[in-house]
Amino acid sequence: MWDYSDKVKDYFFNPKNAGVLGEANAVGEVGAISCGDALKLMMKVDPTTEIITEAKFQTFGCGSAIASSSALTELIIGKTLQEAITITNQDIADFLGGLPPEKMHCSVMGYEALQAAIANFRGEEWHDDHEEGALLCKCFGVDEGMIERAIRMNKLTTIEQITDYTKAGGGCLTCFDKLEEVLAKVNADLVAEGILAAHEAYSIGAADAAEIKAKAKAKKEAEREAAPPTSPLAPASPLPPPSAGMTNLKKMRLIEEAIEELRPYLKKDGGDCELIDVDGNNVMVSLTGACMGCQMASVTVSGIQERLIAKLGVPIRVIPVKAAHAH
């Protein structure tokens, strides 16, 4: 379990400003369902004063993504666009009392959504650098521009930190060498600009780099071997019973509603999710299209699972099955 602050838990289980803002005149969308995280930020901005009077969000992702998105809306409401544009991903994390290092990429997504929404209001075309730079991490669709910006903005000095903030390097590890090159280059620039002390900058020999890469690979292999053979989503301990007062019929209806709410976003990325069966706290779903073939299908399922937990308020396990199992 990650070490979440009480505020992160509160903003996950009781998100503020979640939903659709019909009168929004500034909208920013970032991420992709296929990669496990997506965020749509909607703002209502006074055209005269440029004060953000309302803000709402829709997000698909883990508890930290929901909490970060909710925190972002709280931070920007009442501010002018000029004030809001200075908010960083670290401000979002600080507002929540901190985020686990492995979840800092959720606050980065909030930062990007805000930049995109402000550009949308101003009639500008916002570029997130994701299509302009070389794609370094194919597992998570992270390119060089995003990595450079994360290093510079947050003064990152290790490969592990890059993974925490961008997800890059968290999959097959084939991008490790390139990440090392980008980190060394940007750190050197930061030292030259006086932003980073020379002794803090990333500096490593080839032998050390090979050792780090080998250890990272061994760790991932050990995690895969330790996973339960039935499903990578199976919990380590038995799930507690549903909360009192919720009938099975009500639970099934809420599950159906939650999945139907998510389907348009999945379809937008060329995939889909169909509810197959509900057995106690086990929810069987069938992934089709891009969702089924995506390398991050397990993350997508995890996102669906956390969305159901948030909606029902009870522990839920989502299990991907073939549609044929329903017959």
Choice among 35, 137, 175, 291 that is catalytic: 35
Residue type, 223: E
Report the candidate in 158, 224, 214 with the shortest Cα–Cα distance to residue 186.
158
Location of structure tokens 């009392």: 97
40: β partners: 29, 58
Q: Is 175 a catalytic residue?
A: no
Report the candidate in 249, 243, 250, 262 with the shortest Cα–Cα distance to residue 305.
262
Packing angle between helix 297-312 and helix 248-268, nearest 10 degrees?
140
Q: Under a CB-based contact definition with an 8 Å cutoff, are residues 14 and 66 in contact?
A: no
DSSP string, 10-74: HHHHS-SSBS--TT-SEEEEEEEGGGTEEEEEEEEE-TTT-BEEEEEEEEES-HHHHHHHHHHHH
Task: Tell me the two tokens of residue 198.
Answer: 């020379």
At residue 241, the 3 state secondary structure works out as coil
Sorted by sequence, the CB contacts under 8 Å of residue 95 that are 6+ apart come out as: 7, 71, 74, 75
Choice among 62, 106, 273, 294 that is catalytic: 106
- Catalytic center residues: 35, 106
